[in-house]
A and B are shown apart, each in its own frame.
Chain A
Amino acid sequence: MPAQVDDAEILSKFRDEKTRNEAFNLLLKKYQQKLYWHIRRMVIDHDDADDLVQDTFVKIWKNLPGFRNDAQLYTWMYRIATNECITFLNRKKMKNNVPLDDVAYELSDTLADSSYFNGDQAQRKLQQAILTLPEKQRLVFNMKYYDDMKYEEMSEVLGTSVGALKASFHLAVKKIEGFLLSKD
């Protein structure tokens, strides 16, 4: 795996008209899989995740010229991806005229039917437990459990205080632990 280019270098190249496309290619190579998995864990279905990751990078391309260094590049991109996921789930809820909790049931069915899931029984059970969480707790748990993101970084992504995120994560883990213990 080639050494990844630093975000500052990518941004510098992007500001130059001549190296803008090169900079964006570097950005894609560095973050496309991270963003894809972040999205995939939220929407479960691969095709939905594929659409959303492409939409996310289109928005990144459009808005990157206006990006300021007051935030980290990758947390800024995570924020865009997260908003795409939330918009998608809300649209799904309105389209089917069901509460958001029922969307979680649909996602659970999608997980059960998905051909792109090769986890064992415990992993499947963990995913089902995660889908029982409210949307924000799911986001916090996934970013902590799979991406091992710091609370400060999550705070930039979600626009929530570190304390609130810690509380959310604590609640989420407790629920998941309870789910794993109570169900076979």
Chain B
Amino acid sequence: MNSDKGKREWMNDYLSLKQVNPDNPFTVPEGYFDSLEENILSKIRLEELKNSIPQTGFTVPENYFDDLAQNIQARINIEDAADKEDAGFTVPGDYFDNLPAAIQSRIFVEESLDQHSEGFTVPEGYFENLTGKILNKTAAEEKQEQRGVVRRLFSSVAVKYAMAACVVLAIGGTIFLSENNSSPVEAHNNSFLHKSLASIPLDDIQNYLQLHLDANDDTHALMDETKPADADNLSNELKNALDTTSQ
């Protein structure tokens, strides 16, 4: 460094600057430089202490960071290779183009089936009890099967024919016996005349006989036992008489 004399020489060209007091205008706290040396040495010792102790307390294996970049690159290569293997699977052409339409169609079909099945219902809890019922039934059948095997002596076809023949015989026998063994009263009750007149009230018959007995003697013909009774005429006569009385 130059002397004070040299400092002044260059300032001769700058008068305004030369007028300024060239002394250092800055100050420091009292005794600052007395302690500065000790402060600097303390800081140096502190720095050395910090450098001697790992800040985090964690350590890594020797040459870890030297090999780290290579290890990461190897890992990336493995991941890339794995991704390429995954890409070995293929799908038919335009598979993914048609996939949404196929899924929509499938959904439509499933929904249609669901709507049809909704028309039928089962009693509440049916399917919950169904399994139990089936198991009980199968268990009972197994029990019956264990009792023994029942074998039929006749085939079902022969039994049907035999039963039909028995029915025919019973009906025919009944008719035959009823016709041969009936009394005259029973025969009259079964006759057409009795059945036709049975539905006519007794008062109507009496009124008819009185009317025709007084008017003419046609009742003879009616009552004539020698003539066979004409059911049609008799019925017509009675109906006419009833009509005239009611008018």
Contacts and interface: CB of A to CB of B under 8 A. Distances in A.
A124 B25 contact: yes
Given A57-B40, A148-B3, A122 B20 contact: yes
Given A57-B40, A58-B47, A126 B17 contact: yes
Contacts of A50: 32, 36
Interface string A15-58: 00000000011001100110011001100001000100111011
Interface string B46-69: 010000000000000000000000
B162 interface: no
Interface string A118-137: 11101111110000000000
Which residue among A28, A41, A122, A148 has the maximum number of chain B CB atoms within 10 Å of its CB? A148
Contacts of B19: 122
A177 B16 contact: yes
B39 interface: yes
A3 interface: no
B21 interface: yes
A24 B44 CA distance: 11
B96 interface: no
B1 A146 contact: no
B27 interface: yes
A147 interface: yes
Nearest to B16: A180
Contacts of B23: 123
A145 B22 contact: yes
Contact of A116 (B6, B29, B41, B44): B29
A4 B24 CA distance: 21
Interface string A56-71: 0110011000000000
B108 to A, nearest CB: 63
A53 B28 CA distance: 13
B14 interface: yes
A77 interface: no
Contact of A123 (B14, B25, B44, B47): B25
A105 interface: no
A116 B24 contact: no
A181 interface: yes
A145 to B, nearest CB: 7
B40 A119 contact: no
A150 interface: yes
Nearest to B33: A33
A150 B2 contact: yes
B7 interface: yes
B1 A58 contact: no
Nearest to A116: B27
A173 B10 CA distance: 10
A149 interface: yes
A176 interface: yes
B37 interface: yes
8 contacts: A28-B36, A28-B41, A41-B26, A53-B36, A116-B27, A144-B10, A148-B1, A149-B1
- In the complex, the 10 A-B pairs of residues with the closest C-beta atoms, listed nearest first: A119-B25, A123-B25, A148-B2, A180-B16, A148-B7, A57-B40, A122-B20, A116-B27, A28-B37, A126-B20
